[in-house]
Structure 1
């Protein structure tokens, strides 16, 4: 094996970096390349990550659909949308794209901002009373209070469990907050967890994202064949004649490993409950276009790869 490509996010790039260093120490010639892939969009040194544009497109679209469904009835309707995001709120921020189109959440809470339950209740009461009982809130699964405690832990033992990388297993914050609002507002409050759907909804993938992801893999192979190793392919944003363009550059794996990129504070509004136009301008080009999957009998046709085990000579 002379070429090794590792596709993934922060932890994967850390693993890729360790493998590269091990190969070098062992004196084994192998070109190791990292290929970014994470809907969390939190990889350092790249403008954005493969997968994010498609996931953001789905999150924004689903949010718009929830918004319109919530307004079908005249009765009060409170919805708490729980979106993936441990320490960085890029995916939850995508709900702001729905708000940009006039059909999004009233309030957005991200991990980048310390969560205060009293302020949250006050924010929600203000909107609820002003909008005749209609309220939609979007929250990242990883929001924490001032003591660093996950809000999901307020009503669940789930966050005390660990995943294979030693991270807290998150989920359930939407229901925790829905229960709080049900008590405080005295009305029905529904928690909607996008869960796995936000990362596997291939039927609504961004064409821009799909094309860039393909090129990221292609560039990784091209660079490796040219003799480059111990690097990750990264996206570099440029604007040419007023139009968005993506270039492919190299970043040393040691710079990327276990380093998170969070949403800039200046892209979050002063109150910490929404996004500014800077984020909208950043995200819109990434969700452009529709990647249409092949359809068979009215359903998507998925590729089935045959697994062939490698046998050393």
Structure 2
């Protein structure tokens, strides 16, 4: 008689006298499913180090919150690690750390800085963490974009933009700092606006042409991303063109919860920041067979604020 792994696991556990609680059954069902899984979104962690100069932020709230970024990320991480069924992926849409203490590349290999601390914190998650870039992960023009990319590659093993496929879904990290608006030599230079550049736009359309259920992460909310960059070609038209396969566009940066609904085609949310609230995370259940997402803690969000109520599981 042929016994598959799941049958063996169940019969073996029964022989050992395991009590099959609903939680255990849920974990087994999750493990057995090639199409259903759970992931989390944690944004704007803004990790600092001993080189950080206190009192340099904008106002009392910002100056207080920046000093608690590590403890708040640890709190969110503890909750995410504890959840059952297990969270299988974590995505960070930028501002992993907070600015650069030096413009010298070698400085970051001679000293323990906020980049190293951020890596240690992300390594403490019990599942893979996928990082994107935020405006505070750059320091244009004092620090070149190329230097930031080198540091991210060496220290955090992350590319400027990337994608990963998992159980039938495609997750895409876009970088809205690669275009002309963040190029000091361009007459379009304006760090208040995001842009991707033609090379990344072409790459992104290639990712979308497979028509897989897709989740897109970008740091700037679409409201402040340049709609088109070459004639009528740009991020906004691409999102609208492939709106049927894009399940969600999630951004950070504003540190508050905002629902743009389907203004740009796919559902677009702006997530709050763990910098201000350890409960500011998004938890999702994904089902690639049904091509659906369920935001599990949506009812705990306090819209247009930094805050959310804690998720109890």
Shorter-chain TM band = under 0.3
TM-score when normalising by structure 2: 0.28
Structure number with higher helix proportion: 1
Structure with the larger RCO, 1 or 2 (CA within 8 Å, 6+ apart): 1
TM-score when normalising by structure 1: 0.28
